[in-house]
Structure 1
Amino acid sequence: MAISVISDFMNAAVYDSKGHLVLETEENVFQPRIEEASINTVVQEIPNLQYPVETSNGWMYTLSRGIHKGQKLIGQLMVSVNATKLVSLVYDRTGLQETGELLVGIPDGPDKIRLLLPAMQKPNVIVLPYKGAMAKAINGESGILKERNYRGARVIAAYRPAGFLHWGLLAQMEIKEAYASVWSVRLVILVTFSALLFVGALASLGLAKAFTSPIIELGKAAFALGQGDMRTRVKKGSSCFHDEFSNLKDAFNGMAHRIASHQYILEHEVSERTSDLAHAHDGLAREVEERKRIELELEKAKDIAMAADRSKSEFLANMSHEIRTPLNAIINFTELCLDTQITQEQQEHLEYVQFAAQHLLRLITDILDFNKIAAGKLEMEEIQFSLYEQLEQSLSVLAARAWKSGLELCCDIHADVPDQLLGDPGRLLQIFVNLVGNGIKFTKKGEVIVSVTVNSKSADDVELLFAVKDSGLGIPQTKQSLLFQAFSQVDSSTQRLYGGTGLGLAISSKLAAAMGGRMWVESEGVEGLGSTFSFTGRFKLFPSNSSMNFLMFKGVRALVVDDNSTGLRILTDLLKSWNIIADGVMTTEAAKSALELGESSGHKYNVVLLDMWLGGVEALDLVEYIRARPDLLQKYASDAEVNTLYPVEPDSDLALPSAHCLSQQCSSKSTPDRLRYGPNLKVEIYTKDNVSSAIIMLTSVNHMESSRCKELGLPFHTSKPIRRSLLNRVLRSALGFEDKMSHDEGKTSKESKKLNKRLHVLIAEDNPVNQRVAIKLLHKWGHTTVLAVDGAEAVERSAKEEFDIILMDVQMPVCDGFEATAKIREYERSHNRKITPIVAMTAHAMMGDGEYCIAAGMDYYISKPLNAKKLQDLLQYVATSSLRVYSASPSHKNSMSMW
C-alpha cells in the first residue's frame, strides 16, 4: 500500500563514479556534483532514502541507488519523489478517533528507529527505541499486540512491513478508547437478559395454571372420538380470548365434523347405488319375458356399484390431507405443550391426548393407505439408502417391546447381501415394523429372527429374500389364505385379544408387490413352532466405496458367550466375516474351559463378548473369574500406529503386529511391509486392574443394564439386537486400536453446530392451522419466521429481505406456489442474488408433483400435514448441504428430494 502511495516520481538524475552529473530530466534541480564518498556508501539492493522535507512544491524526498556493471560501481541514480500523498496518508484521521495515529518507521542504526514523519500526538518525537511492534514490522513481521507507546499509554497496535524499503507501518489506538463500545454492549445485554428472565418466569407460572381444564376436556373428547362416537365435540372458548388451546379445540371440532360428514356421504352414496341394484333385481323377478333387457340392466347396475366402490376408494385416498391436517395439528400442538413448564398432572393428561391422537392417526393411516393402494395411487420412491441401517433402525424401534415381552430379537444378514441400494426405504421400514411387530405381539416366549439373503443378483440389481420367523402361536393352514386379505384376521378372538385393523399384512403384501416381489407365510399351526413370514423385493445396486476396514481385526481371537443359540451363531458368523477368529459357548462353565484351553495351548483370546444374562442369571460369576485370572487373556494391540505403519494385503495370511513391536523400537527403515510374529517377541498381558477393558457386555435396551455395567467397572457394552457400526467401534476401543472416534466426534460436533444453526424462514401458507403448526415448531427449534398468507405476499417478502429457506404451499389464493416460485427465481436472476432453497409443501405427494416443483425452480418438497420429525430432518439437511445452482438440466431434476 505504501509503495503505491509514494510512487510519484518527479525528477531523476544520473551521476558517474566520480560524483559528476551526467544526465538529468530537468535542469537546475540536482547539484552538479556530489561527494564521491557518498556514492560508495550506496548499496545495490536497498535504495538510500533522505527524509521528507517541506518545499515550495510540497513535501519532497530523494531516493538514490548505485549503478553497477558486474561487481564494479560505475555511478548512481537519484530520484526526486513527491511525498505529499505519503504525508496525507500518515496524517489522515479517518477511523482513528481521538487517540489513534499512523506511524512510519525506518531503522537508524542497530538500536534506534527514526520516524519518517513526526508523531501526530507528540510532534517533537522523531526517534524511538528499536523494540516493540515497530521493530517487528521493520523485521518483516505482521500482527496485532498490546503495548505502551512513546507517551507511556496502553495501546492496541497493528503493524506490518512496507515491502522492499525495510520500513515499518504502525497503527495504534489507546485500549480504553478502542474497547469503550464493547463494554457498553455487555451492560445492555446483561440488563436485557435479566429482564427477559424475570418476565418469562412470571408468564410461565400464569400459563401453567390456565392449561388444566382444556387439556382434560380435549383428552376426554379425543378418547371418545377414538371409540367411534362421531357426535363428540369440545366446548369452544371465549371469542375474546384466542390461544393455542382454542386452535386445538377448533381443529378437533373441524376434524370430528369432517369425519362425520364423510361417513354420512359414503353411506348415502352406497345406499343409492344399492337401491339401484335392488330395483334392477326386482325388475328381473317381475319381467321374466324381458330377460335380455333385465340382464343388461343388471350389468349396468353392477357397473354402477363398482363405480361407487371406486368412488369410495378415490374419495378416501384424496381425503388424506383433510383428515390428517387437524389430527396432526393436535399431535404437534400437544407436543409443543409438553415442552412447556407444566405440572405432572398436566403432563399425564397431555400424554394421554397425544397417545389417543397417534392411535387414531395410525388407524386412519392404515385405512387411507389401503384405499390408496386400491385406487392405484400408491407410488414408490427410488433413492439411495443403507439396507443395514434401515434394518437395524426398524429393529431398534421394536427392541423395547421385545424386551418387555421377554423375547430375543435377532437380525441375521448374510455376508453377500449388499448394503447400498436404490429403492424406497420408508416402505421397506413399514413392512419390517409390521411383520416384526406382529411376531412380537403373537409370541409369548422365545425369539423373533429377521434374516436377509440374496435370491438372485445381476450386474445392475439384486433380488433379496427377507424372512421374519417367530416362535409364537402358529397359524393353521386353513386360515393362512385369509391373512393377506383386507380386514381379515385368523379368528374373531384375535381382534379381541390383540386389537388391530386387519390391514397391516394386506398393505405389506401390496408394498412387496410394488417392490417387484411377493409375500407368503409358512406355519405348521402349532404353538411354539411359530410362523415365518417371507417376502422378496428387487432393488437396484448403488455403487459405493464406503465400507468398514476389517484388516485391522485379522488375527484377533474373540470368545462369544450367549445362552441363545441363534444370537450366538449370528454374532459368531459376523465376527468371522470381519477376519476375527471367533468361538462361541452358551454357559459360564464352557466359557471358563475355553479360556483355560486357549491359555494352555498358547492361543489366548484377546476379547470376550459376554451376554449380560446367562440362563436367567447375571453373568457376574464369569466376570469375577476373568478378573481373578487376567493371564487368560492377551492384549492384541494398544496403539493406532498398528493400523497405519504395517499394512497387510487382503490375500495375506499374516497377522498384523501388535503394539509390543513398537516398544522394541521397530523403525520404518528396518521393518518390512509384512511382519510375522517372531520367537523373541515380547507379549503384553492384562492385569487385574485393566482386564475389564477386554470384556464387552451384551445388554438389552433397558438403560438400567447400562448403569449396571458401569457399577461393575465394565467400560464397554452394546445392546442387542447388535448394530454393526456400534459393535465395530466398541471392538476397536476394547482392543486398543486408536480408531477415528475422536476425530469423528470432533467432526460430529462441528456438524451438530451446523445442524443447530438458526435459520430465517419464510412461510407461505394460507391455512391457519398449518400456519400455527409451522410457526410454533420453527420457533421451538430456535428459528425465526416471517408469514405470507398467499403467493403474491411471499414474492414481495422475498424481494425485501433474504431468507435461509422458504416453505411454499403449492395451492394458495391470489398466486399459487408454482407461480410465486417462478417469480422469486426470476427476481434472483435479474438482481444477481443468492439462490434461496424453496421447499414445496404439497398435500398430495404423488408422481408428477416433483416435476411441477422442479419446473417452477423448487429444490425439495414435503407432504402435508406437516410431520415435526420430517420437517426438522429437512431443515437440518438444507442447513448442512451446499445450495443448488439454478438449472433446468436433467441432473438437477434428479437432485429433487421428497421428505
Structure 2
Amino acid sequence: MSELELTKRRLEREKAARRQAEAILEDKARQLYHANEALQRLNGSLETEIQRKLIELDLSEQRYRQLIDSVDDIIYKMSLDGLFTYVSPAIENVLGYRQETVVGRHFTHLVQPECWQEMAHFYQQMVRERTLSTYYEFAAKSRDGRRVWIGQTVRLIEADGQIVEMVGVARDITARRNAEQALQTTEIRFSTLLSNLHAGVLVEDEEGEIILANQQYCTIFDLPVQPGQSHRQSAGLAQHVLGEVAAFNARLDELLRDRKLVEADEIRLRNGRILERDYVPIVLAGRKLGTLWMYRDVTGKFHARELIRRSEEKYRGIMNKMDLGLIEVDRTDIILRVYERFCAMLGYAEDELIGRNINDMLVPPEFQPLVDEQLQSRQQGLSGSYELQLIRKDGSRIWVLVSGVPIYDERGDLVGSMGIHYDLTQRKELELELAAARQVAEDARMAEKQFLANMSHEIRTPLNAIIGMSHLLLDTPLSPRQHEYIDSLKTSADFLHRLISDLLDMTKIEAGRIEMNLRPFDLSTLLYSTQKVFEMKLTDRPVTIDVLLDTRIRGNVVGDDLILNQILLNLIGNAEKFTEEGSIQIIARVRREDEHEYVIDFTVSDTGIGIPAEKLDSIFQKFRQVNPSAHKPKGTGLGLAITKELVELQGGTISVRSQVGVGSQFMFTLSFSKSRDMVVPVNNPVPVAVSPADIPQCRVLIAEDNPLNQKYISNLFAKWMIPFGMASDGAELVELARQQVYDLILMDVQMPVMNGYEAAEAIRKTPNPNLFTPIVALTASAMLDQREMATQAGMNDFLAKPFEPMQLIDVLRRYAPVGNLRERSADAAEQAVSTAQDGLNYQRLDELYGDDAAYASEMFAAFLSDVVPDVANLPTLCRVERLPELAQLAHKIRPTFPMVGLTGLETELEQLEQAIHGKQPLDQIEQRCAGLVQELNRMVPLLQAELQKRLHLST
C-alpha cells in the first residue's frame, strides 16, 4: 500500500473521529442546556414549593428532601468560607463519597490540588461581584483516585440584602472533556503530519476552494496560498514557476473530470526541475467531498535514473565489444535479462532465454553442485569467479569463466545476480593438452626415479658383501697374482659403491629429503682436513694440493659442515681425476662481512685438461660427461649435478671457468653466520681446559623423556660432579620441584603426561620452593614462536637441540650461582620484589638475557604492544563484574612481567588472582585493578627507554 493511500485512510479515520467527537459534544451540550433549564425550573419550583408549603400546602421537610434526592446531579450548599453545609446523595454515584463524610468538609477535599487556587478565585470573584448565577468546570478527585471532570452552576443565596450561602448543581462531564481532548489531539497530529511531509499537499472542498495547503506546497511553487482560492487560481500565481499554465490547468481539468486516482503524474517546471503529482479524489457514498493533491520534487531521482540508463547502455556496448556475455537472473536463477553477446555465445535468441531457469537449460549436471554453491554465496551477498561448461543450443559445450555479483534493489534487498561470461574454450583445450603432456612427463620422471632408487638399493645389498669379502681376503695369505686380482675387485667395488651413492644422493635431492643441519664448526679445520685426504691419494702423482684461507675468517661459523664437506669432496675429486700433473688449489675468500655474517667465495682450481667452451653450459647437467673423447674417466656424470643442487639448497650459487689444456676453476658462494661457541669434538665432551672446578657448583633439575638424552646429560653432570634430579615427564618434574629447591631447571618441551610449557606454568603459578628458579627450555626448534611460547609459560631461556657440552656449560654459568646452593624463601622473594618497586629489576634482567640484546628487545617490544593494552582492560572487566575473565587474563599475563623486570607487579597480579578466587569485595578488587594500571603506566616510560637501549646494543 502506498504512502498516499495510508495518509488518505488516516485522514478519513481522523475525520470520522472528529465528527463523532463533535456529535458527542453537541449531545452533551444539549443535555447540559436541558439540565440548566431543568435546574432553573427546579429552583423556581423549589421556591414555589417551599412558599406553598409554608403558606398553602404545608408540605413536610421529608417530601422536600425526597424531591432533591431524586435528581441525578449533585446538589450542594456551601458556606461563604467554603464548607459544605448540604450535599445530595447523588455525590456517592458520581464521586463515591457518602453524604455524611462530605458535609462539614472544605470544598478542596473534593478538588484536584492544581485546581484549588483557580476554584477559590472563582468563588471569591462571584461573591465580590455578586454574580447571582455562574457556570464553572473543574477537575474533581473521586474516592478511588479517579480524575472526574465536573461542570457546575452556582447561585448566591441572599437574606436581608446579605449573601449568606451558595447553592450549586454539579454534573459529571468527563466523557465530553475526553472527546474534546481526543479531537484536539487528532487536529494536532494532522497538522504536524502535513507540516512535516516532504511533499506539497493541497486540499480542496467540493466547490474547488482551497481549505488547506502545507508549507512545502508553497515552497515548491513559490507562492503564498490563501484559503478560498482555487487550485487553478494558485497555478496562475505560480506562472513564473510553471511556465505552461494552460497545459497545467488542462491536465487539472482532465483529472477532475475522470475522478480516478492518479500517481506519479510528471510535471516539468520552467527551471528544469521535475515534479511528480498524485491526485486523490475524496468521495463518500458516491458524493464528492473534496480533492487531495500531492506534489514531490523528484529531480534528483530522475537524473540518477537517466545516468543509470546511459551507463547501462555504455557498458552494454563495452561488454559486447569485449566478447563478454552478460545475463541477469532473479534469486531462483530465472533469467530476467540477457545481452546480445551471451546469446551469440550459446546460439539462442533473447526471447528463447527470458523466463527460463539458467541451470536447467544451460548447465551440465556435473557442474550443478558448483552452481548451487555459488548460488548460496550470492544469497549471502558475496561475489565470486569460477569456471564451468555451458550447453549450446546445438548440444555442443563451451568453457566459460563466470564472474558473478549480487544485485540489490533501492531498499538494499537482494533481488538477484548478474553473471559476466568469458569464452575460454580454446584456452581450456590447450590447458588440457598441456596437463596430459605434463602428466606423461611426470609419470616418466617418477618411473625413472623409482627405477634408480630400486636398482640402487638392490645392487647395494650384494655390493656390501663383495666389499666385505674383499677386505677379508686381503687379510689372508695371497700370492701376488691373487692380491692383484683381489685389489682389482676391491677397486671396481669401490667405484660401483660411489656410483650407487651418487644415484641415491640425486634421488634424495629430487625428492626433497635433504635437510639442512646448522651448527657451529671450524672452517679452517674442515678445509685442511680435506687437503690431507687428497694429499694421501696424490702421493704417487706429481700433483700438489694447497689451501688458501682468508685471514679475516676467525673463529667458528654456523652452517651445515657435512654438506660443505661433500661439495668440496666432489669438486676436488673431479679436479683430481683430470689433473695428471701440476696443482690443485682450494681458496676461501671473504666477499662481504658484517657483525653477524660472512659471505665467502670458494674456488677449486686445477691445472688439468680443461673443458671445451661449447660444453660449459651442460657441465652441471645429470649424466653428462663433456671431456674430450680421448680421455675416458670413470664416473656417472652425477657428481657436478649433485654439487650444484647442494650449493643451491644452501641459498648459494656455483659457476665454472675453463680453458682446454690450461685447467678449470669451479667457484661457489655461501653465507655463514658467525658463532661465539667453541666447537668441541663429540668424542671429547669436556675440553681439557675445562675442569669441574671451572664449572659452577649448583643443583639442577632435568626433565627429559628420551633415554639416550638422559644418559648423555647424566654422564656430563656426573663428569662435572654436579648434583641433579631427573624426571621423565612434566608431571614428575613438578612433583620434584615441590620437594626441594634447585638452582636451575632444564625443561624438555615435548614430553608425555604434561609437556614442558604446562610444567613451567605449573611451577610459576603454584606455591613451591622453585617459584623463581630459572627455567631453560630444551627444544629442537629455535623459531621465534617457540621462544614466545616458552616466555608465556614463564621460562627464562632456551637451549636448542642438539647441544654441545660447552653450550650447556654456558647455560650453567649464566644462571647458576657460584659457591654453595642458594636457599630460596619467602623473604628472598619479598626482597626481589622490593628491588623493583621504584624501577626495573635489572638483576633479574641480567639473569634472563645477559648480553643477548636482540632477544631482550623482542621481549620488551612484545610486552609493550601486547601486554600493556591487556592490563588496561582489567578495570573494565571488574566494573562489568566479569570476574572469571578477569582472573583468567591476570593468570595469562602474570608470567610476562618478570621477563621485563617488573617482578613487583607480578606479585600484585598474583594477589589480584587470589582476591578474585577468595571472593573479596568487588570494590577492593576494582581498587587493585586501578592500582595495577596506574603503576604500569608509571613504568611504561622506563620500559620504552630500556627497549631503545637494547635495540641500540643489538644493531
TM-score, normalising length: structure 2: 0.28
| Higher fraction of helix | 2
TM-score, normalising length: structure 1: 0.29
